[in-house]
Amino acid sequence: MSAATVSRQFARAALRTSARNTFATSSRQAFRQGGRRFYSSESPKSSGASPLLYMAGAAVAGGAGYYFYSQGDVSTKVFEPTKEDYQKVYNEIANRLEEKDDYDDGSYGPVLVRLAWHASGTYDKETGTGGSDGATMRFAPEGDHGANAGLKHARDFLEPVKAKFPWITYSDLWILAGVCALQEMGGPTIPYRPGRSDKDAAACTPDGRLPDGSKGADHLRGIFYRMGFNDQEIVALAGAHALGRCHADRSGFDGPWTHSPTVLTNDFFKLLLSEKWTIRKWDGPQQFQDQGKTLMMLPADYALIKDKAMKKWVEKYAKDNDAFFKDFSAVITKLFELGVPFKPETEPIVFKPVNA
């Protein structure tokens, strides 16, 4: 591991501690300087079609609970994963988040959050379709939807994890990865329940169910009300834009929202209110930039402070990081569980962070 990598990992660890323990009393400028990064700007095929293998596949597709292992051609044993088994999956992901220091801002965390978000955000409460149950983004046309551009990086990142823990469904794995990423990037505790199944391409959702960053408040309400969210929950979920960045070759937009894109805090809300945002003059789609021309906001982000009903929640979360974390944990858990037919006895798992 290079000295530069060690230095950056030490800085991120220090910032996570600061964000959790002293963020509320730190000056905005001091936090910025402490958290600044130097920006660089499918499932395995079976070898046969025996009844045993078919039974194993059916067991995996059925969600958490049972996985059949074949022992030669004559016997099987049933594996029922425990909380400790899911923690092992969590640990595997956590220990690999920063293994490629040259990827984006040094962490796969933000793109894993986006994968879990987009897998879940297709839910329609009226039809009961979409949501995280199914992992249908593995297939065209859903995987090719414009809103999902770039998420192949996240799916490919998780393939070695799936190979190491074949008993977990893709649906459960993607959400577990999102939970892991949020907690490891200094975010709140996110309770996790397994029980999602993997579906085939026939269950793919139509394009247009995810938010469009170029739109305003009416569009946001149309998208999120369809899933069963209210204005407060819409704003709380938007706080995830403290993480990651936009890429011109994916969404068309470009740049990070905050100075610390691998650490979750309420800085998205603070910056949205305190900076003077102007329309960027460039060849790409309309977006806003700060006075220093280092940060960006989408039109959908800016709409949160132009709409009176939403702005009050922006103001609340900008003033109180603990309130943001509390509400964010509740609403992201709700998002990740939309439409999932959990068994009544399925209890939430609280994962122990590895690096946070």
Catalytic center residues: 118, 257
Q: Dihedral, CA atoms, 77, 175, 85, 109, nearest 10 degrees?
A: 140
End-to-end distance of the chain based on CA atoms, in angstroms? 20
Rounded Cα distance between 263 and 35, Å, is 8
Show the tokens assigned to 290. 């700060």
Tell me how far CA of residue 172 lies from CA of 47, 343, 350, in angstroms: 24, 14, 15
Q: Which of 58, 65, 265, 43 is nearest to 162 (CA)?
A: 43
Rounded Cα distance between 99 and 106, Å, is 8
Q: Dihedral, CA atoms, 175, 176, 179, 185, nearest 10 degrees?
A: -120
Burial classification of residue 35, based on how many CB atoms lie within 10 Å of its CB (0-12 exposed, 13-18 middle, 19 or more buried): buried
Please say whether the beta carbons of 210 and 117 come within 8 A.
no
Is the four-CA dihedral 161, 88, 121, 123 of positive or negative sign? positive
Rounded Cα distance between 330 and 190, Å, is 8
